């Protein structure tokens, strides 16, 4: 398909601008002006609409295909969420920071405040900041809070402990807060090795970052012991909320000893993933960390019952983003939460776990299951049986594309060879999963009988397998025509 | 159990699935969570129907003051959004997809991001762009970290005329790096050149400037790049993309990195987010750019296609040694930016910029006629400018808010001695009537 | 005639007098896949044995290269910056990466000979 720049015709105009109703001013001095107008597309509105409509048709998406991408919680995105967010489109964030402005924004501030309260209840935390713009941004914010906590106490801390199954963002975010990383291997039972963890802990550890259930989809039964050991060294427990969809209403991070959590609203609370963002990564903390939260902070004035903004606080880590976070995404998450309510959220977690276990049982005769026990919301297989025939996880992924399924996450977590990580979510029907299971079994049979046939796949897409080496070497990231 | 929102199983299906799984109840699946760790409370309200939910949101939204006339910017601007932007970005194939990990079934997102990167390169006059960052403020902070990595130096010099909000975010990001942040106090709304000579030493990694700056001034940065490069540092420019419809590009100024907030390109105000941050740079810096990058390549049959590239810079491979911890971009907002730029088009963006300039100039001269109001005249401005009032700006703004006009951003809380300064913003959406109302209401407030 | 030694991290080093030419083994190059980038150190920089000296990237992996022996960088193979694919084509010869001036040849006893390395690869 042509690039939009290749469809441009010199001199063609698109959307008409408002006419000027003021006199034309004297031009800016020449030395401030650009020599040539930026060479943007010149295309009619109809051609523009066709271009992007046709581009969209070159995507798999939740609304068109089963999308069991592990660790990403690709659940259905309810349409009313979009309508709700559109209501709040016209409001300028700085209005709230003007003198008397907060009283003009009680609706927006109210949504943020209520959302924070609900997230605090779900996670067992005392207060939530909505400022972080995505999960990884929440992690960084959380680690800056950890650093501020230790600094205020005069603690000298140097390290952050992570299990080897962690998301890459965990160590990267800890590094943003100036910490060095200690990595703990996974034990044969599928969780961070408790003994090695105990040995690694010392007074210089600032925090332990955990995903629970972890990226293998397993709930760590020793989590309380880990928290107790960490706290005995005055290290804080950090909860990566990527997998919260498994446990709503069952267990709360705050109750098992976590001090800081970040949430991925785009995963757990059903907001669309947008082709890679925008997300939203609120951070919840226990009381001991509230003084360090980013500014501005929304507070409830007991006297007049209004919401106000606190902008000054010496101990705060400062600002981590422009304003109040990805507000539009939060409206969607809020809408989702009040619509499902207490029982709906519990049911979401229960059926997410049921669906993952159903797929696990149906496929374990065909794919190696390195950690064979009850999983939570996702299950991690290995294509090691298929590898013996020369078929890799990526080959199975390409087979699935030809069958109309978005592949599961492959090659993550790093600790499972040829990993295939399946997260069906609660919104998929039994019929959809049964059909998917059949296709996965078909892939396993094909690997057995005709392993060479995978190399050409996929054949049903606009392109076949792409040369990633060439892309990395040529570094063509901008159209030069 | 009753089926509720978006959980499709019938009770019979649940029984079948439990049987297939070999457990007697759903609760049994949670046996790995020890009893003593179970929820101490979970007190959310009961759920409701879609209809009731939407009405609740409408009710909540009505608690916002609805009809304010906006003369405020400060990095977030009230621009037109062509209808096609909403309709096309609301194609479910775009907004319900995720990161294009599997390129063959994600060519829509990938090609769009490649076209987006191209638009950003052309707008900024630089060679390479990433697929977007979170927002303009974090993009500025990431540019500072990038300069530190590139130069192996640790001193960041920032013009005090850069948005104070962005500078706060910058300070947060740098607080735990082995970095020194030096802020140059503004001189009459412009970069203090004399002070710059003192502070820009051979330990400086970068100079960070912004145009138009927080006062609205278009500081003339001609020759600045040579001065910065002579010290071995990088020049980072934060820019307002709509203004680049007419203003000299970062590339023409010799900048190494350009960043900015893409909200003004087709993204609604939405109380501050989501928008996107953009970042472009000279080609030699490509390996130090944070975040996702889409590259062109070919498939097995030689057909053009697009993939995420240079991923070895990123956290999922390099973990704590990555260029940044960033994982996602703001893909959908960047897509809206691309559709906006394509819909408005080449000449359209220049015309849009000119329209903003004309409206602001008209407002500026109208306000200047009010007794006691003076306009900061040290440099030309784009669609924002600073006025000095005869009394504290916060008092004036508060009085005007009560009359339905958001008159601008008072600078008193950001700069000492600026209590009477107000930055007024005028976009193409403000009509002559709106402008006349602002003038009239300001006259009334100043007379009282 | 130079002697070749290997590290557990799959670097090789050819020693001739006071000079040590280093690169990565054919095994490592194969494991990494198509190499897309090689980052080389500055000339004159000093490294201790086992310190990170260079870095290498393929499409899906990034790997540090450790100094097999302590020394000062006297030459680097600039050709690799434009043609990283040479590492796949000729890892143990044309795609040498760094030449060091050896600090202490006694450190060589901590490295493996060709035969020891071949046996070591069998154990992986």
Q: Is the ipTM of this complex over 0.95?
A: yes
Q: Is the pLDDT of residue A209 over 90?
A: yes
Q: Can you read off the two tokens belonging to residue B186?
A: 């503004």
Structurally, how many domains does chain C consist of? 1
**CB proximity under 8 Å: A 226-245 to B:** none
Q: Select the residue of B313, B317, B321 nearest C60 (Cβ to Cβ).
A: B317
Residues B290 and B368 in one domain: no
The dihedral through the CA atoms of A239, A243, A245, A246 has a sign that is: negative
| Count of pairs with CB atoms under 8 A, one residue in B, one in C | 17
SS3 A123: helix
Residues B367 and B405 in one domain: yes
Q: Which residue has the higher pLDDT, B358 or C81?
A: B358
Flag if A100 and B88 touch (Cβ within 8 Å): no
Residues B400 and B300 in one domain: no
How large is the average pLDDT for residues A225-251?
97
First-to-last C-alpha distance (Å) of chain B? 66
Flag whether B208 is in a domain.
Answer: yes
CATH number where C93 lies? 2.40.50.100
* Partners of residue C58 in chain B, C-beta under 8 Å: 312
Flag if A274 and B248 touch (Cβ within 8 Å): no
CA distances in angstroms from A97 to A14, A22, B244, B398, C98, listed in the order given: 37, 31, 28, 11, 57
Residues B190 and B305 in one domain: yes
Flag if A469 and C37 touch (Cβ within 8 Å): no
Which CATH architecture best describes the domain A80-337? 3-Layer(aba) Sandwich (3.40)
pLDDT in 10s for each residue of chain B, 448 residues: 455 789 999 999 999 999 999 999 999 999 999 999 999 899 999 999 999 999 999 999 999 999 899 999 999 999 999 999 999 999 999 999 999 999 999 999 999 999 999 999 999 999 999 999 999 999 999 999 999 999 999 999 999 999 999 999 999 999 988 899 999 999 999 999 999 999 999 999 999 999 999 999 999 999 999 999 999 999 999 999 999 999 999 999 999 999 999 999 999 999 999 999 999 999 999 999 999 999 999 999 999 999 999 988 888 877 788 888 888 889 999 999 999 999 999 999 999 999 999 999 999 999 999 999 999 999 999 999 999 999 999 999 999 999 999 999 999 999 999 999 999 999 999 999 999 999 999 999 999 7
Q: Which of A22, A76, A176, A436 should we substitute to test contact with B (largest number of B Cβ atoms within 10 Å)?
A: A22
State the average pLDDT for chain A.
96
State the average pLDDT for chain B.
96
Taking the Cβ of residue C36 and every Cβ of chain A, the question of whether any pair is shorter than 8 Å is answered with yes
- Phi and psi dihedrals of A235, rounded to 5? -95, 145
In sequence order, what DSSP letters do the residues of B38-83 get, joined into one string? B-S---PPB---HHHHHHHHHHHHTTB----EE---TT-------H
Place of tokens 């523009």: A48
Which chains have 3 or more CB–CB distances shorter than 8 Å to chain B?
A, C
Flag if B9 and A278 touch (Cβ within 8 Å): no
Flag whether B192 is in a domain.
Answer: yes
CB B157 within 8 A of CB B204: yes
Taking the Cβ of residue B316 and every Cβ of chain C, the question of whether any pair is shorter than 8 Å is answered with no
The dihedral through the CA atoms of C25, C28, C30, C32 has a sign that is: negative
Interface of C with B (CB under 8 A): 36-37, 57-62
Cα angle value A54/A60/A66 (rounded, 5°): 145
Q: Is the pLDDT of residue A18 over 70?
A: yes
Q: Is the pLDDT of residue C116 over 90?
A: yes
Taking the Cβ of residue A101 and every Cβ of chain B, the question of whether any pair is shorter than 8 Å is answered with yes
**CB proximity under 8 Å: A 341-380 to B:** 341-348, 350-351, 353-355, 357-358, 360-362, 373-374, 376
Residues B73 and B20 in one domain: no
How large is the average pLDDT for residues C32-48?
93
Radius of gyration of chain C from its Cα atoms, rounded to whole angstroms: 13
Using a 10 angstrom Cβ sphere, with 0-12 exposed, 13-18 middle and 19 or more buried, the burial of residue A291 is middle
Using a 10 angstrom Cβ sphere, with 0-12 exposed, 13-18 middle and 19 or more buried, the burial of residue A459 is exposed
Q: Select the residue of B95, B246, B344 nearest A14 (Cβ to Cβ).
A: B344
Q: Select the residue of B21, B58, B134 nearest A87 (Cβ to Cβ).
A: B58
Q: pLDDT for B248-271, tens place per residue?
A: 999 999 999 999 999 999 999 999
Residues B74 and B115 in one domain: no
Tell me the H-state helices in C12-109. Answer: 26-32, 79-82, 86-89
Flag whether B100 is in a domain.
Answer: yes
CA distance, residue A141 to nearest chain C CA (Å):
27
A-chain residue closest to C37, CA distance? A473
Residues B40 and B98 in one domain: no
Flag whether B360 is in a domain.
Answer: yes
Q: Select the residue of A48, A121, A325 nearest B84 (Cβ to Cβ).
A: A48
C-chain residue closest to B313, CA distance? C62
B-chain residue closest to C58, CA distance? B312
Residues B202 and B109 in one domain: yes
In sequence order, what DSSP letters do the residues of A24-42 get, joined into one string? PPPPPPGGGB-SS------
Q: Which of C35, C40, C62 should we substitute to test contact with B (largest number of B Cβ atoms within 10 Å)?
A: C62
Q: Which residues contact B121 (CB under 8 A, 6 or more apart)?
A: A478, B127, B128, B129, B280
The predicted pLDDT at position C124 comes to 84
Radius of gyration of chain B from its Cα atoms, rounded to whole angstroms: 25
Flag if C85 and A473 touch (Cβ within 8 Å): yes
Range of B165's domain? 83-340
Q: Is the pLDDT of residue C82 over 50?
A: yes
Flag if A469 and C36 touch (Cβ within 8 Å): yes
Q: Is the pLDDT of residue A481 over 90?
A: no
Of the candidates A330, A272, A339, A76, the residue with the CA atom closest to the CA atom of residue B50: A339
* Partners of residue A472 in chain C, C-beta under 8 Å: 36-37, 57, 59
How large is the average pLDDT for residues A367-373?
96
Residues B145 and B200 in one domain: yes
* Residue after which a domain boundary falls, among B340, B375, B405: B340
* Partners of residue C36 in chain A, C-beta under 8 Å: 469, 472-473
* Residue after which a domain boundary falls, among B294, B314, B340: B340
Flag if B346 and A39 touch (Cβ within 8 Å): yes
CB B328 within 8 A of CB A134: yes
Range of C26's domain? 3-123
CA distance, residue C92 to nearest chain B CA (Å):
23
Residues B329 and B387 in one domain: no
Q: Select the residue of B4, B246, B359 nearest A343 (Cβ to Cβ).
A: B4
Taking the Cβ of residue B311 and every Cβ of chain C, the question of whether any pair is shorter than 8 Å is answered with yes
* Residue after which a domain boundary falls, among B340, B371, B393: B340
Interface of A with C (CB under 8 A): 411, 468-469, 472-473
Q: Select the residue of A411, A468, A473 nearest C84 (Cβ to Cβ).
A: A473
**CB proximity under 8 Å: B 222-281 to A:** 222, 244-249, 252, 261, 268-276
CATH number where B437 lies? 3.90.1150.10
Q: Is the pLDDT of residue C2 over 80?
A: no
CA distance, residue B150 to nearest chain C CA (Å):
13
Question: How far is it, in rounded angstroms, from Cα B76 to Cα A94?
Answer: 8
Flag if B31 and A41 touch (Cβ within 8 Å): no
Residues B207 and B331 in one domain: yes
Taking the Cβ of residue C59 and every Cβ of chain A, the question of whether any pair is shorter than 8 Å is answered with yes
* Partners of residue C59 in chain A, C-beta under 8 Å: 468-469, 472
Flag whether B36 is in a domain.
Answer: yes
* Partners of residue B17 in chain A, C-beta under 8 Å: 354-355, 358, 430
The matching CATH number, chosen from 3.90.1300.10, 3.40.190.10, 2.70.70.10, 3.90.1150.10, for A341-454 is 3.90.1150.10
CA distance, residue C14 to nearest chain B CA (Å):
29
Residues B36 and B151 in one domain: no
Which chains have 3 or more CB–CB distances shorter than 8 Å to chain C?
A, B
Of the candidates A16, A284, A305, A308, the residue with the CA atom closest to the CA atom of residue A125: A284
The predicted pLDDT at position B1 comes to 44
Structurally, how many domains does chain B consist of? 3
């Amino acid at each position: 398909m042509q690039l939009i720049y290749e469809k441009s015709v010199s001199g063609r105009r698109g959307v008409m601008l408002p006419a000027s109703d003021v006199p034309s001013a004297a031009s800016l001095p020449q030395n401030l002006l650009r020599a040539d107008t930026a060479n943007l597309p010149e295309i009619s509105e109809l051609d523009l609409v066709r271009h992007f409509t046709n581009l969209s048709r070159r995507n798999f998406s939740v609304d068109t295909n089963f999308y069991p991408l592990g660790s990403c919680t690709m659940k259905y995105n309810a349409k009313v969420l979009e309508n709700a967010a559109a209501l709040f489109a016209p409001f300028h964030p700085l209005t709230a920071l003007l003198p008397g402005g907060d009283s003009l924004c009680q609706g927006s501030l109210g949504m943020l405040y209520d959302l924070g309260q609900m997230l605090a209840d779900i996670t067992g935390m005392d207060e939530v900041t909505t400022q972080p713009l995505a999960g990884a941004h929440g992690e960084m914010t959380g680690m800056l809070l950890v650093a501020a906590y230790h600094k205020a106490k005069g603690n000298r801390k140097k390290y952050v402990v992570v299990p080897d199954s962690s998301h890459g963002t965990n160590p990267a975010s800890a590094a943003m807060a100036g910490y060095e990383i200690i990595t703990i291997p996974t034990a044969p039972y599928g969780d961070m090795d408790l003994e090695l963890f105990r040995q690694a802990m010392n007074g210089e550890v600032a925090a332990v970052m955990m995903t629970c259930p972890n990226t293998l989809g397993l709930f760590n039964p020793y989590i309380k012991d880990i928290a107790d050991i960490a706290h005995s060294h005055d290290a804080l427990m950090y909860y990566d909320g990527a997998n919260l969809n498994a446990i709503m209403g069952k267990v709360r991070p705050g109750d098992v000893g976590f001090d800081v959590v970040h949430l991925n609203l785009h995963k757990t609370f059903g907001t669309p993933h947008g082709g890679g963002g925008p997300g939203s990564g609120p951070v919840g903390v226990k009381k001991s960390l509230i003084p360090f939260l980013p500014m501005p902070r929304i507070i409830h004035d007991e006297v007049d019952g209004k919401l106000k903004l606190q902008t000054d606080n010496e101990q705060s880590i400062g600002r981590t983003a422009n304003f109040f976070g990805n507000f539009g995404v939060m409206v969607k998450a809020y809408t989702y939460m009040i619509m499902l309510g207490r029982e709906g959220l519990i049911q979401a977690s229960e059926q997410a776990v049921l669906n993952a276990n159903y797929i696990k049982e149906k496929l374990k005769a065909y794919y190696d299951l390195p950690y064979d026990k009850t999983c939570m919301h996702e299950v991690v297989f290995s294509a090691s049986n298929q590898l013996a025939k020369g078929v890799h996880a990526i080959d199975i992924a390409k087979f699935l594309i030809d069958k109309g399924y978005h592949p599961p996450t492959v090659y993550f977590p790093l600790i499972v060879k040829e990993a295939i990580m399946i997260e069906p979510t609660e919104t998929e029907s039994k019929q959809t999963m049964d059909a998917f299971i059949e296709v996965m079994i078909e892939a396993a049979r094909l690997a057995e009988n005709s392993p060479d046939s995978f190399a050409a796949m996929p054949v049903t897409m606009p392109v076949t397998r792409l040369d990633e080496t060439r892309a990395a070497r040529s570094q063509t990231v901008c159209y030069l025509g | 159990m009753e089926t509720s929102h978006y959980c499709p199983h019938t009770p019979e299906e649940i029984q079948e699935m439990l049987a297939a799984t070999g457990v007697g109840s759903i609760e049994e699946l949670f046996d790995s969570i020890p009893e003593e760790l179970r929820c101490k409370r979970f007190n959310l309200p009961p759920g409701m129907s879609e209809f009731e939910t939407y009405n609740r949101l409408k009710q909540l939204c009505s608690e916002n003051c609805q009809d304010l006339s906006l003369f405020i910017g400060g990095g977030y601007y009230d621009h037109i959004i062509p209808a096609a932007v909403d309709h096309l970005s609301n194609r479910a194939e775009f907004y319900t997809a995720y990161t294009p990990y599997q390129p063959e079934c994600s060519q829509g997102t990938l090609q769009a991001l490649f076209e987006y990167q191209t638009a950003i390169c052309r707008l900024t006059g630089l060679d390479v762009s990433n697929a977007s960052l979170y927002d303009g403020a974090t993009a500025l902070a990431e540019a500072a970290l990038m300069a530190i990595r590139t130069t192996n130096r640790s001193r960041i010099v920032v013009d005090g005329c850069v948005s104070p909000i962005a500078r706060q975010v910058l300070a947060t990001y740098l607080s735990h790096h082995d970095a020194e942040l030096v802020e140059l106090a503004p001189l009459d709304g412009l970069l203090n050149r004399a002070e710059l000579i003192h502070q820009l030493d051979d330990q400086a990694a970068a100079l960070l400037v912004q145009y138009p700056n927080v006062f609205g001034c278009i500081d003339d940065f001609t020759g600045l790049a040579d001065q910065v490069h002579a010290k071995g540092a990088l020049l980072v420019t934060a820019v307002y993309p709509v203004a680049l419809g007419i203003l000299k590009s970062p590339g023409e100024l010799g900048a190494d990195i350009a960043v900015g907030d893409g909200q003004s390109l087709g993204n609604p105000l939405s109380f501050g987010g989501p928008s996107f941050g953009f970042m472009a740079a000279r080609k030699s810096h490509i390996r130090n750019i944070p975040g996702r990058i889409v590259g062109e390549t070919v498939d097995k049959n030689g057909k053009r296609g697009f993939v995420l590239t240079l991923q070895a810079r990123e956290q999922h491979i390099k973990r704590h040694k990555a260029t940044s911890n960033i994982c996602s971009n703001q893909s959908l907002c960047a897509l809206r930016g691309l559709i906006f730029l394509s819909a408005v088009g080449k000449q359209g963006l220049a015309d849009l910029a000119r329209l903003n300039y004309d409206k602001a100039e008209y407002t500026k001269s109208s306000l200047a006629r009010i007794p006691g109001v003076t306009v900061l005249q040290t440099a030309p401005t784009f669609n924002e400018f600073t006025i000095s009032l005869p009394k504290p700006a916060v008092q004036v703004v508060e009085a005007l808010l009560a009359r339905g006009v958001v008159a601008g951003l008072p600078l008193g809380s950001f700069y000492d001695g600026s209590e009477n300064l107000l930055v007024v913003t005028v976009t193409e959406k403000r009509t002559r009537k709106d402008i006349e109302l602002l003038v009239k209401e300001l006259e009334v407030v100043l007379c009282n | 005639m130079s002697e070749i030694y290997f590290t557990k991290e799959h670097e090789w080093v050819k020693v001739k007098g006071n000079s040590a030419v280093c690169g990565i083994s054919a095994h490592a190059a194969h494991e990494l896949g198509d190499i897309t980038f090689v980052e080389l150190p500055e000339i004159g920089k000093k490294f201790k044995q086992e310190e990170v000296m260079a870095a290498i990237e393929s499409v899906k992996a990034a790997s540090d290269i450790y100094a097999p022996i302590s020394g000062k960088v006297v030459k680097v193979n600039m050709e690799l910056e434009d043609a990283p694919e040479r590492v796949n084509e000729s890892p143990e010869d044309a795609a040498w990466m760094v030449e060091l001036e050896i600090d202490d040849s006694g450190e060589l006893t901590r490295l493996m000979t060709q035969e020891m390395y071949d046996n070591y690869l069998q154990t992986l």
